[in-house]
Structure 1
Amino acid sequence: MHRRHRATTALALICALSVLVLPGQASADPAPPPSAGGEGDKSLDQVRREIDELYRKAAVATDAYNLAEDQAQDQSGEIVKLARSIVAGEQRIEKLKDRLGAQARAQYRTGGVPRSAQLMLSGNPDLFLRGAGQLKQGQQAVKRMLDEMTRTQEDLRTYSKDASTEWTKLEANRKRKEKAQKEVKKQIDAAEKLESRLEAKERERMLQLERDEQYRAQSAWLNSGALKGGKGGAATSQGRQAITYATAQIGKPYIWGAEGPGGFDCSGLTQQAWAAAGRDIPRTSQEQWRLLPKVPVSAMRPGDLIVYFSDASHIGMYLGDGAIVHAPRPGRNVTIAGAGSMPILGVVRPG
């Protein structure tokens, strides 16, 4: 099975690269030119666009789910740290209480007469002076213990308050996750229901219409001169590692919320690819767009991430020569596609 998967991956790469080698003819979509459509294609194309829109809404909801999941994990970790701090603080207070208790017990054994009074009544000036110094040191030690206890108690109150805040956030994120999960399921179910009504020939024709549209978009993008200049240069060593990981996943299914190894959503693929290259990046396409350094399309280089649609709901990794590797949507597998086959919002550079 593994040899067959590697062979499939290698074949996909060869097929894609075979149409990318000539800069003047670069096209990451090996599909033939658009075919002529009839009147029946109009209604079928409307269904396709409706299905695409449902999957796009599912992608937005998936990003919301992934972000809530990521934040919930961070908050859970913070709560654990706070809990440990509270336990450590309580143990420290117990130790301070024991030490102060020892001081009190020592005084009780002297009959409750303060050490200062005992020294004054001794009648020995040398003993008095020596003891007075010891007494001062003892008083300072007690004061330090009391001050430390006060600070520790204040810290415990802060830790408890922070823990309560994190619990509130965690509960809010749990609800956000549940809501997003329901929304993802709702949109995917609606899309699959629409697709299930189509006959096999209609589904095949609809797929061809999709390829036709991607071909037109890719051709228009290449003809616009978007890649002219080549300012981005070659991939960095980290970029090459990220590309190696991402292309090795070709053929694996899109699974919403997944980060591998069996399947990926779009940002799960890009995140794990760059993690394999030693660079941690945010989990969602929207956070990757928001937080990673932006570069002009004309200056992008292999390994950069191209963000799609105005809401940053999709992302893919640039391979060079006008191609990306990405996890398209539910029902599809990780594949190579034209970088301009979808509306580009911008480009970000993890490293």
Structure 2
Amino acid sequence: MVPTRLGRATLTVALALTASLADSGPALADPSPAQARARLVKLNEQADQVVERYNQATETYKKAKKKYDVLNGELGRQGAVADGLRKDLAEVAVNEYQANAYTGWQRFAFHGDPEAALSSLATLEQLAEARAAKVRAFEATTKGLRDRRDNAKRVLAEADGARDKIRGEKTEIDKLIKEQTKLARRLGVFRTGDPDSPGIEYNGPASGNARTALEFAFAQVGKPYRFGGTGPGSFDCSGLTQAAWRAAGVSLPRTTWTQWSWGASRRVPLDAIEPGDLLFSKGLGHMGIYAGDGKMVHAPQTGDVIKVVNLDDYWRNRLVGAIRP
């Protein structure tokens, strides 16, 4: 019986080792071109989401920091007002002390001058009213100062939290970019782009400010995609759409998510899109501008350049909606 148990144990170990080797084999081998392309597509979709989170965190930090700077400036001005009121209070106190010392009841009692005594009393009353007014102003100012200081501290904490989130998103993006670049180079599709690219001319059917936006976007064709890019030498997807429509006189928010939210009342069906409309992918990780004639101009992903693409089945299946600025 003992040899049988040993034999079964040995067989179990052998089978486990064989399975382990079998599982590790494909992982050690280089992926096929088809596998690499599929992996790159997944990485690009993942990067779209992370980049948008990065952009959102960046915008949150910028807004919080701007608000803090404004509050901090108010804090300085309010502090100067409080210092001035503090000096005024000191002067009132000195004047009141002097008035009490030299023109009080003693003068009326010992010098028998009623008019002078009443005048002194009026002076005392005026000084007391002046002091009370200064005290009230000082208290109101210092309270406002404390409130602003507390508010500024809260806003600064929010900005610091947003900045920490940016660092975390940046670390994840760097990892994704490294793998994206490796796969794109292996497949021979990596393009560095030219920050000084003159772009191409737009000859589509758009008119009005939509045409102006598309002319701007087409003039960026050939420039590199860069996450967080807002121009002029590189752009990410929402950075390009924002810059293009800014050239046409329309102010869009910074990120894909906020542009989608901004256009809640401006959404149009995908079967009714017109040149200049903003096109959004499912998950809101990517976007572009419809150029007309079944084409879209966009800033794709790391390792690629701003380009014009056909809205074929691949892109149409990825779209979730459109907005007309």
> Which TM-score tier does this pair reach, normalised by the shorter chain?
0.7 to 0.9
**Does residue 1:186 correspond to 2:159, yes or no?**
no
Identical-residue share of aligned pairs (%): 30
Match of 2:69 in 1: 80
What is residue 329 of structure 1 aligned with on the other side?
A: 301
Residue 193 of structure 1: how far off its partner (Å): 2.4
Q: Is the 8 A contact 1:245 1:276 kept in 2?
A: yes
Q: CA RMSD in A?
A: 2.7
State the 1:129 CA deviation: 6.0
CA gap of 1:68–1:131, structure 2 versus 1, over 3 A, is same
Change (3 A) 1:241 1:126: farther
Q: Secondary structure at the match of 1:112?
A: helix
Give the Cα separation in 2 of the matches to 1:93 and 1:118. Answer: 36
- Give the aligned partner of residue 291 of structure 2: 319
Q: Is the 8 A contact 1:324 1:339 kept in 2?
A: yes
- Please give the residue correspondences for 1:8-19 in structure 2 after superposition, counting only pairs within 5 Å: none
Alignment of 1:183-262 (within 5 A): 183-198=172-187, 237-262=208-233
Contact residue 92 and residue 130 of structure 2 kept, 8 A: no
Measured after TM superposition, the shift of residue 128 of structure 1 is 5.9
The residue correspondences of 1:106-145 to structure 2 (distance < 5 A) are: 106-110=95-99, 112=101, 117=105, 135-145=124-134
Amino acid paired to 1:306: L
Distance, in Å, in 2 between the alignment partners of 1:123 and 1:244 is: 94
Within 2, Cα distance between the matches of 1:346 and 1:185? 29
Query: Cα 1:99–1:190, aligned 2, differ >3 Å: closer, same or farther?
Result: same
Match of 2:22 in 1: none
Structure 1 residues 307 and 295: CA distance shift in structure 2, 3 A: same
- Which amino acid in 1 is paired with 2:166? K
Which structure has the greater CA radius of gyration? Answer: 2
Does the 8 A contact of 1:315 with 1:326 survive in 2? Answer: yes
Partner of 1:286: 257
Unaligned runs of at least 5 residues, structure 2: 1-30, 191-204
SS at match of 1:317: strand
Offset, 1:124: 5.4
Q: 2:268 aligns with which of 264, 274, 296?
A: 296
Q: If the length of structure 2 is used for normalisation, what is the TM-score?
A: 0.76
**Take 2:107 and 2:212, find their aligned partners in 1: how far apart are those partners?**
78
Partner of 1:63: 52
CA contact (8 A) 1:55 1:188 kept: no
2:64 equivalent to 1:54: no
2: CA distance, partners of 1:236 / 1:120: 91
SS in 1 for 2:230: coil
* Alpha-carbon distance in structure 2 between the residues aligned to 1:195 and 1:261: 24
CA contact (8 A) 1:119 1:132 kept: no
Query: Residues of 2 paired with 1:325 and 1:120: CA distance?
Result: 93
Q: Partners of 2:105 and 2:40 in 1: how far apart?
A: 92
Matched, 1:346 2:325: no
Name the structure 2 match of 1:13: none
Aligned residues of 1:246 and 1:325 also touching (Cα < 8 A): yes
Which whole-Å deviations, capped at 9, do the CAs of 1:155-212 have from their partners, x for residues lacking one?
A: 11111111211221122111111111111111121222234444x5xx69xxxxxxxx
Q: For residue 72 of structure 2, what is the amino acid of its counterpart?
A: A
The Cα of 1:53 is off from its aligned counterpart by 0.9
Give the drift of 1:330.
1.3
Is the 8 Å Cα contact of residues 271 and 282 (structure 1) preserved in structure 2?
yes
**Residues 96 and 128 in structure 2, CA contact (< 8 A), matched pair in contact too:** no
Is the 8 Å Cα contact of residues 59 and 184 (structure 1) preserved in structure 2?
Answer: no
Q: Answer yes or no: is the 8 Å Cα contact 1:58–1:185 preserved in 2.
A: no
Secondary structure (helix, strand or coil) at the match of 1:347 reads strand
For the residues of structure 1 that align with 2:178 and 2:41, how far apart are their CA atoms?
A: 13
The question of whether the paired residues in 1 share the 8 Å contact of 2:300 and 2:306 is answered with: yes
Residue identity opposite 1:345 in structure 2: V
Q: Does the 8 A contact of 2:96 with 2:127 survive in 1?
A: no
Which stretch shifts more, 187-196 or 167-176? 187-196
The answer for the alignment partner of 1:220 in structure 2 is none
2-structure distance, mates of 1:262, 1:139: 67
TM-score (norm 1): 0.70
8 Å CA contact retained: 2:223, 2:305: yes
Give the paired residue count: 275
- Output the CA distance in 2 between the equivalents of 1:54 and 1:161: 43
